[in-house]
Structure 1
Amino acid sequence: MAGEAGTTTRYAAIRDAALRLFARDGYAATTMADIGAAVGIRGPSLYKHVVSKQDLLAQIMLDTMAALRESHQAAVRGNTDPAVRLRRAVEAHVRYHARHRLEAFVGNREIRSLDEPHREAVLASRADYEQRFRTLVRNGVRAGRFDVTSVRLASYAILDLGMGVAAWYREDGELSEDEIVWHYGDLALRIVGATSTDG
């Protein structure tokens, strides 16, 4: 048990180091030796914990999408009002991107660096997440609560709102995370033609 915990902790440290290096230097310019040096592991010993640099990149992206789907599911659970569900989903989406800026940056920039079958798996996970927002908007339209000319474009616009936060948000900025999350919830409801709700 202790050995397993140590291995898990070491992998987490390697993953975090890879994430920082991918964000700072780019995937192509980062070597396994760079990652090993960042966590104090030399050469071949690193491969006891990870399969490859490609596997690290794919796992970072898949973990990110899994976390986003989980937070989305938790956000919409327990409420049937379309506006409340959309607001809560957007708030979770924005909050994640404010707190995980490196994951968002690497996920957007390095999708081109993924090889198959990793690329297909990540794209499928992204498509699933996008579909969840599209479903929220579509259900709101069907219920007569939202008014949009294109469900697809509205959902893309809402997703882009949250992803953009990762590019500029700073903890010491003018607005707090909670304020930004609340304002973006309002913006999303305006995009779909709904009135604000206190959900």
Structure 2
Amino acid sequence: MSKTILDFIIHYEYVGIFLALAFGLIGLPVPDEILLTFTGYLVYEGKTGFALTLLSAFLGAMSGISVSYFLGYKLGLPFLKTFGPKIGITEEKIEKTQWYFQKYGNLMIIIGYFIPGIRHITAYIAGISAMKFKRFALYAYSGGLVWSFTFIMLGKELGRKWSVVEQYFHNLGFYAILTAVAAVLIMWLIYKVKMKRA
């Protein structure tokens, strides 16, 4: 992970977390999961508070993914195909995300956070597909909260061993476990909301 980003987070704390995640979810090359795990480590060290760290991460994710949605909604697929490659969003990733989005729909917006190379594009595709913003926000913000919570807690629990996540960043088994955990949390949240409405 770039030492510059770590120093940025250490220096600016909550504002740094917010900005890094916002720009990361728009598509800039920010290693989001590693960043979140590092913020969990800062919580472990007592340098930041858990509640404010989670809030900063959630608001950053919410802002970044909302901007992506509106860019997709207003400017469409030609914009994404033209400017996407400049920030690592290749046509292959766009087509892959479109396929996932068509197959899994709303669930893809939530689970997409946990799939490298996909979470940056799902909001663009949702906007391009003219999905209603209220519906998009319900799934996108829920997913952002679960995603932020999962990695911050992981960093907090790992403590000084937080960098293990960086070593296994590209390990598919690692992501499968996290995706399964996220899916359970999401189903629990949906169940609670349905029970509350009932």
- TM score, norm. by length of structure 1: 0.30
Query: What's the TM-score, normalizing by structure 2?
Result: 0.30
